[in-house]
């Protein structure tokens, strides 16, 4: 099967009714999807299971390594049911939120956050329906009632989401629903688990304990959606395996004019720490209904590529849109064109002398630099833990990064990482024999040809984890 794998920046596509069939998943894989996202805000476990089975079958049948990303819902705050068609509000109207379920009227409206009266303070803003309605807290009894003044009005309808950009909420990051979903996810071959509404590194540690308790190899993506996460971004990056810039809720909770620079700053810091970073939300949203993207969307995707993001993500575009295949095709074209101008010169992070992995980092850095200096066709890495792939990718070399591993799960995990192409290999013997074998595999796959220069990197002995200590230049015979 012919697939599109020329791009370095990866595509994450959300699965939904428009894309969950075997035929649609296969088509999306052909045109450039690297990771499928399962959104646990929607769908039953049985429905997710069908998608997982289909993706695994596609991988096995066609020798692919498409990854699976399970996205936990997190603590969603919503108003309850509203009487009739909704409540029309204008500036300075006063409404009351309560924490006891009721049908909403002008007198009182239920909000699904029991500790809201306790956590909120006078003067803090409350945003409803993706920020379409904005309120200010004018009174709270710290028990069960909060009074709010309308700043920007509109029609308040049933079950609309609530954002609290100024409030330090006390809800746990993992809800009861998340824990139930996680119990299911950890029985599946999922590569990445995304944690929603992360506020501190402690949230990530709680999730890691649950994953480790099941001895599951899944890695954690921290979704940056809260102002607190932006303030603590360095520690969150350090304690996560990857980052998602979730611009939907984040764009509601921080001033809109700050969002572009926040995105660029997070991408830069993730590259410095060798953490894959995904830019997500509304990337090509007009294609939910339209057959082509807007000019602003084209520029948005291209800018994410030029910033150095590992991946760009599609949500409703592929989950419920009319043209999921066309969306991915268009995104692939934009990525390939932008990558022609992508240049990391002067932006490659230098190894940190104070790091416990400094020596290995220097080897990976020099693999990338050597590949540039000698115009190598590819960098070949052998890995079990994934360390070599993550680190070499962070230096953004201008050639292919081809990774061999004896762990199938790791190969699919690495399909999220910038520039990485993966092959299975389980016959690691001596270093020279292994380099010869994997080079022959690449010749058969028509990835390299006689005369090509290759930079080889890995561990000696080959099964030593987290210690990349070998660098060797070879010429394909």
Q: Give domain limits for the chain.
A: 10-74+174-339, 87-163, 358-475
C-alpha span between 225 and 202 (Å, rounded)? 16
pLDDT of residue 450: 96
C-alpha span between 315 and 321 (Å, rounded)? 9
Q: Which CATH number fits domain 10-74+174-339: 3.30.420.40, 3.20.20.140, 3.40.50.10440, 3.20.20.60?
A: 3.20.20.60
| Regions of the chain where pLDDT drops below 50 | none
C-alpha span between 112 and 444 (Å, rounded)? 58
* Count of residues making up the chain: 477
| Helical packing angle, 201-213 and 176-185, nearest 10° | 40
How far is residue 396 from each of residues 66, 101, 360, 390, measured CA to CA in Å?
21, 52, 16, 10
Burial class for 91, CB neighbours closer than 10 Å (0-12, 13-18, 19+):
exposed
CATH number given to 87-163: 2.40.33.10
C-alpha span between 44 and 283 (Å, rounded)? 26
pLDDT of residue 344: 67
- C-beta of residue 321 within 8 angstroms of C-beta of residue 353: no
Question: Residue 255 corresponds to which tokens in the numbers above?
Answer: 């001033």
Burial class for 189, CB neighbours closer than 10 Å (0-12, 13-18, 19+):
middle
| Helical packing angle, 358-373 and 387-394, nearest 10° | 50
Given 76, 78, 348, 407, which residue is catalytic? 78
C-alpha span between 275 and 391 (Å, rounded)? 9
Q: How many Cα atoms are found within 13 Å in the side-chain-facing hemisphere of 415?
A: 30
Active-site residue 223, yes or no? yes
pLDDT single digits (tens) 152-184: 999 999 999 999 999 998 999 999 999 999 999
Active-site residue 268, yes or no? no
Q: How far apart are the first and last CA of the chain?
A: 28
Write down the residue that tokens 């948005």 correspond to. Answer: 300
Given 7, 10, 219, 223, which residue is catalytic? 223
pLDDT of residue 346: 56
pLDDT of residue 470: 87
Active-site residue 78, yes or no? yes
Sheet of 420-424: strand order equals 420-424, 400-405, 378-382, 453-458, 470-475
Query: Domain 358-475 class?
Result: alpha beta
Question: Residue 435 corresponds to which tokens in the numbers above?
Answer: 């380099």
**Residues paired with residue 458 on neighbouring β-strands, in sequence order:** 470
Given 30, 37, 264, 421, which residue is catalytic? 37
Given 281, 332, 413, 434, which residue is catalytic? 281
C-alpha span between 64 and 57 (Å, rounded)? 10
Give the pairing of strands 311-314 and 470-475. Answer: unpaired
C-alpha span between 40 and 253 (Å, rounded)? 22
Q: Distance of alpha carbon 152 from its chain centroid, rounded?
A: 32
Active-site residue 205, yes or no? no
- Give the per-residue SS3 of the chain: CCCCCCCCCEEEEECCCCCCCHHHHHHHHHHCCCEEEEECCCCCHHHHHHHHHHHHHHHHHHCCCCEEEEECCCCCCEECCECCCCEEECCCCEEEEECCCCCECCCCEEECCCCHHHHCCCCCEEEECCCCEEEEEEEECCCCEEEEEEEECEEECCCCEEECCCCCCCCCCCCHHHHHHHHHHCCCCCCEEEECCCCCHHHHHHHHHHHHHCCCCCEEEEEECCHHHHHCHHHHHHHCCEEEEEHHHHHHHCCHHHHHHHHHHHHHHHHHCCCCEEEECCCCHHHHCCCCCCHHHHHHHHHHHHHCCCEEEECHHHHCCCCHHHHHHHHHHHHHHHHCCCCCCCCCCCCCCCCCCHHHHHHHHHHHHHHHHCCCCEEEEECCCCHHHHHHHHCCCCCEEEEEECCHHHHHHHHHCCCEEEEECCCCCCHHHHHHHHHHHHHHCCCCCCCCEEEEEECCCCCCCCCCCEEEEEECC
Q: Distance of alpha carbon 464 from its chain centroid, rounded?
A: 29
């Amino acid at each position: 099967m012919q697939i599109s794998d020329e791009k370095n920046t990866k595509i994450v596509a959300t699965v939904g009714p428009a894309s969950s069939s075997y035929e649609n998943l296969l088509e999306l894989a052909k045109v450039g999807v690297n990771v499928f996202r399962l959104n646990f805000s929607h769908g039953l476990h049985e429905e997710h299971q069908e998608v997982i089975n289909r993706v695994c079958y596609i991988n096995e049948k066609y020798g692919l390594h498409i990854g699976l990303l399970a996205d936990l819902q997190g603590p969603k705050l919503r108003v309850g049911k509203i009487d009739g068609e909704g409540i029309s509000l204008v500036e300075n109207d006063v409404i009351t939120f309560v924490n006891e379920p009721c049908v909403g009227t002008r007198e009182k409206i239920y909000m699904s956050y029991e500790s809201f009266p306790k956590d909120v303070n006078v003067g803090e803003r409350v945003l409803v329906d993706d920020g379409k309605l904005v309120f200010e807290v004018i009174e709270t009894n710290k028990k069960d009632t909060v009074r709010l003044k309308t700043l920007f009005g509109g029609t308040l309808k049933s079950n609309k989401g609530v954002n609290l950009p100024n409030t330090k909420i006390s809800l746990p990051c993992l809800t009861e629903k998340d824990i139930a979903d996680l119990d299911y996810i950890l029985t599946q071959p999922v590569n990445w688990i995304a944690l929603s509404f992360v506020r501190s590194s402690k949230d990530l540690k709680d999730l890691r304990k649950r994953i480790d308790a099941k001895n599951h190899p899944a890695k954690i993506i921290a979704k940056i959606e809260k102002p607190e996460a932006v303030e603590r971004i360095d520690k969150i990056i350090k304690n996560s395996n990857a980052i998602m810039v979730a611009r939907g809720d984040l764009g509601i909770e921080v001033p809109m004019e700050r969002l572009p620079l926040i995105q660029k700053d997070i991408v830069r810091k993730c590259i410095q720490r060798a953490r894959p970073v995904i830019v997500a939300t509304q990337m090509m949203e007009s294609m939910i209904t339209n057959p082509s993207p807007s000019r602003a969307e084209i520029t948005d995707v291209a800018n994410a590529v030029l910033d150095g993001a590992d991946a760009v993500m599609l949500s409703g575009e592929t989950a419920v849109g009319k043209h999921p295949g066309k969306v991915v095709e268009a995104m692939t074209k934009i990525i390939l064109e932008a990558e022609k101008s992508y240049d990391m010169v002067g932006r490659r992070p230098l190894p940190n002398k104070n790091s416990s992995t400094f020596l290995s980092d220097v080897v990976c850095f020099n693999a990338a630099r050597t590949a540039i200096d000698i115009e190598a066709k590819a960098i070949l890495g052998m890995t079990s833990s994934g360390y070599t792939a993550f680190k070499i990718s962070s230096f953004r070399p201008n050639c292919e990064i081809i990774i061999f591993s004896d762990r199938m799960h790791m190969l699919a995990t690495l399909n999220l990482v910038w520039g990485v192409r993966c092959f299975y290999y389980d016959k690691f013997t001596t270093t020279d024999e292994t380099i010869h074998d994997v080079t022959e595999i690449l010749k058969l796959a028509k990835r390299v040809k006689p005369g090509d220069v290759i930079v080889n990197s890995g561990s000696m002995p080959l099964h030593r984890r987290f210690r990349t200590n070998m660098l060797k230049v070879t010429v394909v015979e």
